[in-house]
Chains A and B, each alone.
Chain A
Amino acid sequence: DQQVKQNSPSLSVQEGRISILNCDYTNSMFDYFLWYKKYPAEGPTFLISISSIKDKNEDGRFTVFLNKSAKHLSLHIVPSQPGDSAVYFCAASVGSYGQNFVFGPGTRLSVLP
């Protein structure tokens, strides 16, 4: 059973509009969450993170929201650009020292010009 779920395998958004990528988790022990972006033939690159003591973290066009009671986080990209087209992975840390990161299956975002 997947502990981190990204229920939308793909998402298409028009350039300039908002992209919202969702992630749900089942393990209430998770206390640190990250988003990674992956282009084809490249390794994932870190995008933004949030710890469980916060409910929002913003970095430029990227904002991550965390709803602990719902065990849900989302990544907002505003405005979306064609260069944002990639696979986005949500990840959560588990374990007393956060030594494991559990990744979701990814959502492929396509930003259409």
Chain B
Amino acid sequence: EAQVTQNPRYLITVTGKKLTVTCSQNMNHEYMSWYRQDPGLGLRQIYYSMNVEVTDKGDVPEGYKVSRKEKRNFPLILESPSPNQTSLYFCASSLSVGNTIYFGEGSWLTVV
């Protein structure tokens, strides 16, 4: 089954404690991206990757890092989480740029 898998789905962490949200897709997609969803703001892109070792900033990259060492994985790293990063995060992938995006189920992150 074609899917985008994120982990963890739910996490409560403390300010400053580094965390990684993993994302994996099994569709051999080139393009992957991370979004955060906040009330009244919709989905905002954090980072995207057009292929292995190619990443670029989206609209709200501050406080986040990503890496794309393999085609299937695109982890989101919060080096020093802060409460304003409390949000619902979605990983997404598509065959290539401009194609339909497939989303993971979301990761609820709370930073206290």
Q: Which A residues are closer than 8 A to B by beta carbons?
A: 2, 4, 6, 9, 32, 34, 36, 41-46, 49, 89, 91, 93, 97-106
Contact = CB atoms under 8 A, between A and B. Distances in A.
Nearest to A97: B97
Given A49-B100, A99-B50, A105 B105 contact: no
B48 A99 contact: yes
Given A98-B98, A100-B45, A105-B41, 19 more contacts: A34-B100, A41-B105, A41-B106, A43-B4, A43-B103, A43-B105, A44-B103, A46-B101, A89-B42, A91-B43, A93-B98, A97-B98, A99-B56, A99-B98, A100-B48, A100-B58, A103-B42, A103-B43, A105-B42
A51 to B, nearest CB: 9
B97 A98 contact: yes
A84 B17 CA distance: 40
Contacts of A100: 45, 48, 58-59
Interface in B3-55: 4, 31, 33, 35, 40-45, 48, 50
Contacts of B106: 41-43
Contacts of B56: 99
Contact of B44 (A41, A42, A103): A103
